[in-house]
Amino acid sequence: MGKFSRLGHELYTGGKSYDFVGRRPLWYAISGGIVLVALLIVILRGFNFGVEFTGGTQYQLSGLTSSQATQGTVDELRQAIADSEVPGAEEPTVATSGDAGIIIEVEELSQANADKLIDVIKGVVDVDDDQISPSEIGASWGKTVAKRAIIGVTVFVLIAMLFIAVYFREWKMSVAAFIALFHDVVITMGVYSLSGFSVTPSAVTGLLAILGFSLYDTVVVFDKIRENSQPGTLRKSKLSYPEAANLAVNQTLVRSINTSIVALIPIGAILWVSAVQLGASSLKDLALAQFVGMAAGVFSSVWVAPRILVHLKANEDEVKLAERRARARARREVDKYAAVPAYTDDMPVQEAPEGIDLDSLEEGEIDFEGDDGPVVRRGPAATGFGTGRIAPPARGPVEESGAAGRPQPTRKPRSQRGKQ
């Protein structure tokens, strides 16, 4: 934990940085490829809709003893029906109903397959024919749930985008957050289609739950980007807008990882128990949608949303100005004197800016800064090696130093300064 804490401190202060905003073509290709694959899976495989959406048959077992209406009997019935290979009953939904009943839901069956299913039930539970009550399940309820879910998602997205635009006073952040949200939903749908799990109301509920988690993480990152990219902050930090955005992602990276781990551990445990041990479809449908959506939400808030935001703001005047300042500053900081040209006889003469008297300048004096850095306007370079470097003048008298073995600048005590 100590190393992780130090890493978080270095990421926050800028001592260590990972490039999440750069390499735009590469990361766009990776994210776009993942989304494209997910869409192709959905188109080619489709979804395995549950009986709530397609309709089916429900078998109510009543009059059972307390020793029969148990979770053990439910698990045994589910396994026996799934192994019976009755068409339409490959993924049954089995649950207890009160203290003396069990409910079994399967797809719509023909009369012959229904008789086979009843024989399987009787082979597990000692019941008579009058204790088994079949009934048809209509698809109208599932369609109503789907319709209201679509309406709910649309309203939620519109309100969330409006809130982000008003809070940050930046519509481009709303667009970036929406694209990241679309990225998460499509990936979740692709994984769900690939898994073959039944689409139930629980799965729809899980899909709706990940919308809020994805936007929450994105808003936290955007808030840090806004803090780092204020005009005064950019000038003080000497960063360009992409650098400030990348710093914000690094500063929130540890928080994003911690939040995702805390959220994914219990969801993963529910998914494992429900899918592997219990086989409870309602739980595994909910857990799978939430687990995949939360993991995709962390990825999009770190790699997708900030990069899209930087891309959208790249043409703004303030962003361009900060970028030019950062490039010029980077060139100067590589070597403060490398931009000073060595004097040659055929060096072209440049006109002095208005208000600058060239005759008043000493040899090798730096007059002003041009677009490419400091410019020497008069005299040869102070060094005689043709390197273009100007040695800075000593701040005090130079005398021999016994300790260094060479001439060193000396400095008088404060009480002796200014005296002859």
pLDDT tens figures, 311-336: 888 888 777 777 777 777 666 666 65
Tell me how far apart the alpha carbons of residues 190 and 296 are, in angstroms, rounded to a whole number: 12
Instruction: Identify whether 11 is part of a domain.
Output: no
Instruction: Identify whether 400 is part of a domain.
Output: no
Instruction: Identify whether 346 is part of a domain.
Output: no
Contact yes or no for 259/231 (Cβ under 8 A): no
* Whether residues 228 and 284 fall in one domain: yes
Domain boundary at 107, 137, 167, which? 137
What do you get for the CA distance between the two ends of the chain, in Å? 61
For the chain, what is the radius of gyration of the CA atoms?
Answer: 35
Look up residue 52 and give its two tokens. 């709530």
Identify the CA nearest to 179 among candidates 221, 204, 150, 214: 214
pLDDT class for 366, splitting at 50, 70, 90? very low
Look up residue 321 and give its two tokens. 């100005």
Strand 56-61 versus strand 132-137 pairing type = antiparallel
Tokens 């989304």 appear where?
A: 35
pLDDT at position 3 is: 62
Host domain of residue 212: 21-47+141-321
pLDDT tens figures, 197-255: 777 777 777 777 777 778 888 888 888 888 888 877 667 767 788 888 888 888 888 88
Please state, rounded to an integer, the average pLDDT across all residues of the chain. Answer: 75
Dihedral sign for Cα atoms in the order 341, 345, 346, 348? positive
Whether 77 has a pLDDT exceeding 70, the answer reads yes
Tell me how far apart the alpha carbons of residues 86 and 403 are, in angstroms, rounded to a whole number: 96
Identify the CA nearest to 222 among candidates 180, 187, 264: 180
Look up residue 262 and give its two tokens. 């805390």
Tell me how far apart the alpha carbons of residues 247 and 309 are, in angstroms, rounded to a whole number: 14
Domain boundary at 321, 338, 360, which? 321
pLDDT at position 8 is: 59
Please give the helix or strand (H or E) that residue 32 lies within, else none.
helix 24-45
Dihedral sign for Cα atoms in the order 207, 211, 216, 219? positive
Tokens 């929406």 appear where?
A: 178
Q: What is the mean pLDDT of residues 390-394?
A: 61
Domain boundary at 294, 321, 348, which? 321
